[in-house]
Amino acid sequence: MRVKLDENLPAELLDDLRAAGHDPDGLAEEGLTGAPDDVILERVRREERVLLTMDKGIEDVRAYPPERYAGIVLFRPSSAGRGATLAFVRRHLPLLVEHDLAGRLLVITDRSARFR
């Protein structure tokens, strides 16, 4: 799976995704740190990559209709902090290959994983 890692997720996830056989890249690697959401989403759309993010603004389906993208995954951990975020995302990475993400927004919380 071709994946784009948002800057708000730990960079170690790039190695995890590569080890799992995915093709990830990150916004930080591309010099897009701090870029507006519309710039990021246009890049993701053009590259046909699934966006992994914690940016709640991207959950606005009116502004960013999921059907325009290869997939958007919004992680919503209940605990803050880098270590907690890394553990949360690592625990839920297997969900990415269990579902067809194309044209869908997947919101993952501690209690559920739901499509919007």
Mean pLDDT by 10 residues, the chain (116 residues): 95 94 92 91 96 94 95 94 95 91 96 92
pLDDT recorded at residue 29 = 86
User: What is this structure's pTM?
Assistant: 0.94
- Encoding tokens for residue 66? 């999921």
Amino acid identity for residue 1 in this structure: M
Q: Tell me, what's the pLDDT at 73?
A: 97
User: Which H, E and C letters describe the chain, residue by residue?
Assistant: CEEEECCCCCCHHHHHHHHCCCEEEECCCCCCCCCCHHHHHHHHHHHCCEEEECCHHHHCCCCCCHHHCCCEEEEECCCCCHHHHHHHHHHHCCHHHHCCCCCCEEEEECCCEEEC
Report how far residue 101's alpha carbon sits from residue 5's, in angstroms, rounded to the nearest whole number: 15
Position 30 scores a pLDDT of 87
Q: At what angle do helices 82-92 and 12-19 cross, to 10 degrees?
A: 20
Number of domain units in the chain? 1
Q: What is the pLDDT of residue 18?
A: 95
Q: Please report the pLDDT score of residue 39 as a whole number.
A: 93
What range does the domain containing 93 cover? 2-115
Q: pLDDT at position 116, please?
A: 84
